[in-house]
Structure 1
Amino acid sequence: MLSTKLVRQLLQVALEGGGDFAEVFFENAKSNSLVLENSKLERVKTGYDLGIGIRVLSGDKVSYAYTDDLTKESLLQTAKVAGAASQGQNKVTITDLRKGTINQVHPVQIRPEEVAKKKKAELMKEANQAALNYDDNIRQVIISYADNTQEIMIADSDGLYVEDERIHTRMRVKAIASDGEKIQTGSESPGLQVGFELFDQYPPQKLGEEAARQAVTMLGAKSAPSGKMPVVINHGFGGVLFHEACGHGLEADLVQKNSSVFAGQVGKQVASKVVTAVDDATIKNGWGSFGIDDEGQQAERTVLIEDGILKDYMYDLKTARKDERASTGNGRRDSYQSLPVPRMSNTFIEAGDFDPEEIITAVDDGLYAKKLSGGQVETATGEFVFTVAEGYMIKNGQLAEPVRGATLIGKGIDVLQKISMVGNDLKLAPGMCGKAGQSIPAAVGQPTLLVDEITVGGTERKGE
């Protein structure tokens, strides 16, 4: 970490151009990754990211410079470059830097850098063998493991000076099944802001078996029907639909650019009355959680939608300054090389009152989307197409035959308004969220819920 004396000097130099706010972001990160394919360890990689970024704000203008050369001469030059572009007339007095304290609510029991790569590879081999043993139709298994330890320091001209450490661990298991004619895949990819104890909660053998089960089940599935129908979306990663089709539209930078269907909608009914959605960075050991965001603001729980009413957006410091309000602690960046922008953390629809079985029973003829995968979204309109990785028909309130090739097609705000039942089984799932060329850990989630009508794309006509 840098001394407070040097940090203060950097802030002073950065403000010489007349900016009204300056910030220093220091990062020291180490990552480890392993890939196992065809039962062989194919890649082992260790990466390092060490550097500093300096940002200056002058009204709505932002200037930014960064370097991985931490000599005093280089740092001062970086500060000078960042400040030179501001071209303001302000004379800011830097408040004394006082080190803040952070509540460490994300404990780590087994630091991953203290675990030998051989041990990590052994767990991957366990998952691999479990998947291969599940069924003779499993042809290939691909497993990746990754851990990341990130130390950060953030200081600014308002007197903020805070430090934090974040540790993420994740494993991805992909199983590929084939009967000689068709090929189907299944996957499991748990991750949390924890250390190697992740595998106490998610044993590798179970991950391999579950990925294989999905692939084999879909191998024997019928083609999905097409048409408008009720859809039950399973808990957990089903929340990716809300994240992509609605969540990005609730980030303040897009709202301020009028690039969101939610612009100007605070206080209005944007969803069914049974829907409450939040962004919560305070969840213990959550994949998208943190003690402070990447601008040093304390992690918060922000209610976005309450009983269907739009309550708030997600703000970083820059967008908050523009709206003359406080940040919601959603300023995030993927490294010292990037500017912070408003981003989600753990974003989800809160639990409701129904048992999942009750929700399925309420559907006479529809689709159960047990697992979603990738999709495409137009952020400005909320229009989406999502692939159902594992789906089943619902007949007379009971799960029926599995179906493959289904897609969900619609508009995020329309889907929110058509949710009629929300389950009591909230679950979060990890993901990597992309925006502005940056990728960060963000969790999605929801309980099981019923959407009264979504257009389902498939290869069969409904009713045939």
Structure 2
Amino acid sequence: MKNIKKNFLFNKYDFNENDIFFLLNIMSDSQVDFGDIYFQSKQQEVWILDNKIIKKGTYFFDEGVGIRIVKNFSTSFSYTNSIKLENLINCTNSVCSMLPSKSNRIFKKNLSIKNNSYFYTNINSIKKYSVEKKIYILNTIDCIARKQDVRVIDVYATLTCEYEEIVVGSTDNDFISKDIRPLINVTICVIVEQNSNREKGYSGGGGRLKFDDLIKKKINSEKLIDFWAKEAVRIALVALSAKLSPAGLFPVVLGSGWPGIVFHEAVGHGLEGDFIRKETSIFSKKIGQEVASNLCTIVDDGTLIDCRGSINIDDEGTSSQYNILIKNGILKSFLQDKLNAHLMHQKSTGNGRRESYACLPIPRMTNTYLLPGIDKREDIILSVEEGIYAVNFSGGQVDITSGNFVFSTSEAYMIKNGKIIYPIKGATLIGSGIDVMKSISMVGNDLCMDSGLGICGKDGQNVPVSVGQPTIKINKLTIGGIS
């Protein structure tokens, strides 16, 4: 194992991997069923441009340790931002004393040693690249957006760079896991005006990228920042000409990429182990049953290269995995952290995630998406006599217990006689996750992931995620709008 002290947050403390094992031994001596120690150091730099002016620049730094034990199915947890051995010994002893001394010893020792795979860069863009270069990116975005159309009256752009280091030790492993997690994202809002009518367009993206990727990587032959700036303008101009959405029951075509948020919300959350174990999910007790069209295979994959939701290891030290949740419409598995997996007599799927050292890990998604089918996007649209083509969403709500959802579109179009005829606004998709999945009749061959802005909230914790899908056709879905 590489020396942690050379690469991680311990370089400024008199602390090393042997000290972690010492703390874990305290837990074992206290006969806990399971215990772990989570070290985290996080930096974040944010720059904001508004109306051609850099309005704000902030730098955030935090580091600390979370200490957890499980005994007799109860959990004791404490955290501190003082990374000193004496303090951590006191915290560990305190956590161990919170629960009764008798233990069932339910967790087994894992004697295998695993080397982490690496799915993204370890470069710290906060330190490596100058402030001037970051401000240049924002000014470039402003310039590109304003050149697209004279109706652009304001551009708001944010550049965020993050750099996170984690170290995890646990009583069920004889090794220490570590990870470096960079994250970059750009958000753009463009305001356009015509005849006193104003509309907004949003775009942007990012991932676990190097800063240089913003001007070197390309989408549709254009640099990332060029494409995102133009997209924000395009979406705003589409909104200017949009008509009010009809209401009623329609066939719906969901575009590729970000519309995969429907599966994230209406399906993914319902497959997280804690909801399943407590039987508060509509998918409880449905393993092996048909819950979707046989055209649907949905996966959660934390191993996608450079993707926003990717992780080399989860926040319990388990290697990231490719998990098939639904295969050809049949429910196959759930998303598990260590605790819920054990209580359900299953294995962790590498989905134990937490926002920070001050939070307990819980089952969470990484990159969740629907696998591609064989249909062409053009053929899917041609198959619709009258319906809705939803390209982007601005928000939504889901009831995990019932599976019912409501999603608001930010870019949508009316389809008639197999042709996209005009943009609409105010369209809301209303339905149930299982019902919608069973009514999917066509799945496109154009899978793509979202651009990289996804944030998932659960139990007060936010973590970065990605979603994706190919173009799909839903036979019937209720559309809320204005008739």
TM-score band by shorter chain is: over 0.9
2:418 equivalent to 1:397: yes
2:234 equivalent to 1:213: yes
Q: Give the residue type in structure 1 aligned to 2:391.
A: K
Match of 1:69?
82
Summarize deviations over 1:117-147 as a string: whole Å, max 9, x none: 2111111111112222222322222111111
Summarize deviations over 1:348-371 as a string: whole Å, max 9, x none: 111111111111111111011111
Match of 2:5?
none
Match of 2:162?
148
Match of 2:127?
113
1:295-374 to structure 2, matched below 5 A, reads: 295-374=316-395
The worse-fitting range, judged by mean Cα deviation, of 158-167 and 434-443 is 158-167
SS of 2:423 mapped into structure 1:
strand
The worse-fitting range, judged by mean Cα deviation, of 94-103 and 286-295 is 94-103
1:158-169 to structure 2, matched below 5 A, reads: 158=172, 159-169=174-184
Whether the 8 Å contact between 1:12 and 1:94 is mirrored in structure 2 is no
Match of 2:470?
447
Q: Give the residue type in structure 2 aligned to 1:168.
A: L
The worse-fitting range, judged by mean Cα deviation, of 182-191 and 404-413 is 182-191
1:414-433 to structure 2, matched below 5 A, reads: 414-429=435-450, 430=452, 431-433=454-456
The worse-fitting range, judged by mean Cα deviation, of 170-179 and 386-395 is 170-179
Match of 2:42?
29
Whether the 8 Å contact between 2:261 and 2:467 is mirrored in structure 1 is yes
Summarize deviations over 1:84-103 as a string: whole Å, max 9, x none: 22223139799799974212
Summarize deviations over 1:330-353 as a string: whole Å, max 9, x none: 000111111100000000111111
SS of 1:82 mapped into structure 2:
helix
Matches of 2:251 and 2:274, distance apart in 1: 34
SS of 2:70 mapped into structure 1:
strand
1:191-340 to structure 2, matched below 5 A, reads: 191-199=206-214, 200-201=216-217, 202-340=223-361
Summarize deviations over 1:15-48 as a string: whole Å, max 9, x none: 4554211101111121111111121111111111
Matches of 1:288 and 1:276, distance apart in 2: 19
Matches of 1:165 and 1:295, distance apart in 2: 14
Whether the 8 Å contact between 1:124 and 1:204 is mirrored in structure 2 is no
Matches of 2:462 and 2:478, distance apart in 1: 30
Assess, with a 3 A threshold, how the Cα gap between structure 1 residues 217 and 96 changes in structure 2: closer, same or farther. Answer: closer
Select the residue among 441, 457, 461 that pairs with 2:480: 457
Match of 2:186?
171
Whether the 8 Å contact between 2:429 and 2:480 is mirrored in structure 1 is yes
SS of 2:119 mapped into structure 1:
coil
Whether the 8 Å contact between 1:17 and 1:85 is mirrored in structure 2 is no
Matches of 1:164 and 1:108, distance apart in 2: 9
Deviation at 1:258, TM superposition (A): 1.2
Whether the 8 Å contact between 1:110 and 1:197 is mirrored in structure 2 is no
Alignment TM-score, normalising by the size of structure 2: 0.91
Q: Give the residue type in structure 1 aligned to 2:361.
A: P
Assess, with a 3 A threshold, how the Cα gap between structure 1 residues 311 and 98 changes in structure 2: closer, same or farther. Answer: closer
Deviation at 1:112, TM superposition (A): 4.5
Matches of 2:90 and 2:152, distance apart in 1: 57
Matches of 2:125 and 2:44, distance apart in 1: 12
SS of 2:181 mapped into structure 1:
strand
Matches of 1:186 and 1:281, distance apart in 2: 30
Matches of 1:111 and 1:40, distance apart in 2: 22
Match of 2:137?
123
Deviation at 1:14, TM superposition (A): 3.6
Gaps of 5+ in 1: none
Matches of 1:197 and 1:281, distance apart in 2: 23
Whether the 8 Å contact between 1:160 and 1:296 is mirrored in structure 2 is no
Matches of 2:230 and 2:198, distance apart in 1: 18
Matches of 2:251 and 2:112, distance apart in 1: 56
**What CA RMSD, in Å, does the superposition of the two structures yield over aligned residues?**
1.9
Name the count of aligned residue pairs.
Answer: 460
Matches of 1:348 and 1:108, distance apart in 2: 25
The worse-fitting range, judged by mean Cα deviation, of 271-280 and 197-206 is 197-206
Match of 1:103?
117
Match of 1:190?
205
Whether the 8 Å contact between 1:235 and 1:447 is mirrored in structure 2 is yes
Gaps of 5+ in 2: 1-9, 218-222
SS of 2:455 mapped into structure 1:
strand
Assess, with a 3 A threshold, how the Cα gap between structure 1 residues 34 and 79 changes in structure 2: closer, same or farther. Answer: same
Summarize deviations over 1:385-444 as a string: whole Å, max 9, x none: 111101111111111111111111111111111111111111112301001111001001
The worse-fitting range, judged by mean Cα deviation, of 4-13 and 347-356 is 4-13
The worse-fitting range, judged by mean Cα deviation, of 442-451 and 108-117 is 108-117
Matches of 1:99 and 1:175, distance apart in 2: 50
Matches of 1:65 and 1:428, distance apart in 2: 37
Q: Give the residue type in structure 2 aligned to 1:169.
A: I
Assess, with a 3 A threshold, how the Cα gap between structure 1 residues 360 and 7 changes in structure 2: closer, same or farther. Answer: same
SS of 1:190 mapped into structure 2:
strand
Whether the 8 Å contact between 1:272 and 1:418 is mirrored in structure 2 is yes
SS of 2:249 mapped into structure 1:
strand
